[in-house]
Amino acid sequence: MSKHGRILVAMSGGVDSSVAAVMLHEEGYEVIGLTMKTWDYASSGTNSKETGCCSLDSINDARALAVGYGFPHYILDIRNEFGDFVIDNFVDEYLAGRTPNPCVLCNTHIKWEALLKRADKLDCEFIATGHYANIRKQDNGRYVISKGKDVNKDQSYVLWGVSQANLARTKFPLGSFSKPEIRQMALDMGQIELAGKSESYEICFVPDNDYRAFLRHKVEDLEERVGGGNYVLADGTIVGKHEGYPFYTIGQRKGLGIALGKPMFVTGINPTTNTVTLGTADELERKEAWVKNLNLIKYETIDQPLQAITKIRYKDAGTESTIVQMGEHMKVDFHHMVSGIAPGQSAVFYEENDLLGGGFLL
C-alpha cells in the first residue's frame, strides 16, 4: 500500500512531466504513467519528421522512464476525440475569421476528461500533469489555480477552462519550481538526455507551426474559395488583394504582401465579404472587451465590478482592468489602451497571482 494513494500522471516524454512523475513516486504515491496519443503527422499531409509529445520517440521515452523507476505505463489513443473536437474547432474558428486557442480547448474538453476517465478505471484518486502552476483549496470549498513560481514558464493561462470537479482531483507538482531547477533534477536523476530536451512551442498538430498549410490540407479548395479578396482601410477604401481571410490574424503585421508607406496591421477580418481590414497601430487599440464561454475559478460569480489583471494572449504581461459579469458574458474595461484584441483568443483574469477565470474574446 502506498503512502499517499494511487495517482495517474500524464507523461509526454518531456522533462517536465517525467520529473513530475518521479517526484510523486519518490514522495510515496503509487504512480501510474499515461501517455496520450492525440495526433500523428501523417494526417496533416506533411513530410515533417514527427516531433514533440505525440511522436514514437516521446512515447518510448516516457515508457522507459516508468520502467526504470518500476511503475506502470500505459498509452491512450485519443486521436478520434481530439480530432473531432479540437482540430475541427481549430479549422472552424479560422473559417469564421477568429483566432483559435486549441491548447485551452484540449485541456478543458479532452485531456482532463480522458485522464479522469482512465483514472477511474485504474482506481486512481488523483491525476497530475507537468504544468507550471499551483492549486489549492479555499475555505469556501473552491479550488483555485495560481501562477507558477517560474514567471517565464507559468501555464495558468491555458488552464482557465478546467472545471472545479476536475481541479478537485488534480495535482501540479512543478508549481513551486523553476524550469532550470527541473532540468537540474533530471540531471541529478541521471537523465542527461532528458534534461537537455528542447521545448516545443508549436501547436502539436500543426507541423512546423505553419497553420496556413494545415488549413489548405484540411479544407478542400480553400485557396480557390477565399483567395483574391480585398484589403480595405477602415473607411472601405480598397488598397490591394490578399490570399484569403483565414490566413490572417488580428494584429498581424508581417507577411501581408502589401506596402502602404507606413507600418500597417490587420485590424479586422470579415469572412462574409472575404475582406481584411488594415490600419495603423493606433487603430488596433481598444479599451473594452467582451468575453464569452466563461469558466470562473476563484469565485462562483463576479456580479459586482472587480479589479483584475486581464491577459489577452499567452505571453501578454496583462493589463489592469475592471471586470463584471453581464449575463453569460464578462465585460472588461481596461484602465488603458490594449492592442490586438483577437476574437477567439482567451481572455484570462487574475487577482494578484490567483486565476479568477477566463473565456473567449468576442
Q: Which residues are annotated as a binding site?
A: 10-17, 36, 130
3 touches 29 (CB < 8 A) = yes
CB burial of 139-160 (b: ≥16 within 10 Å; e: otherwise) equals eeebbbbbbbbbeebbbbbbbb
Residues 6+ apart with CB under 8 A from 165: none
The whole-angstrom separation of Cα 14 and Cα 39 is 16
12 touches 178 (CB < 8 A) = no
SS3 of residue 340 by DSSP: coil
What would you report as the CA-atom Rg of the chain, rounded to the nearest whole angstrom? 22
272 touches 253 (CB < 8 A) = no
Q: Which of 53, 54, 106, 124 is catalytic?
A: 106
* Strand partners for 360: 292, 346
Report the candidate in 270, 194, 197, 262 with the shortest Cα–Cα distance to residue 232. Answer: 270
3-state helix, strand and coil shares in percent for the chain, rounded to the nearest 5: 30, 30, 40
Active site residue 103: no
Active site residue 204: yes
Helix axes 88-95, 211-218, angle to 10 degrees: 100
The C-alpha cell 485522464 sits at: 115
Q: Which residues are annotated as a binding site for ATP?
A: 10-17, 36, 130
Q: Which of 53, 54, 124, 204 is catalytic?
A: 204
Which residues carry out catalysis? 106, 204
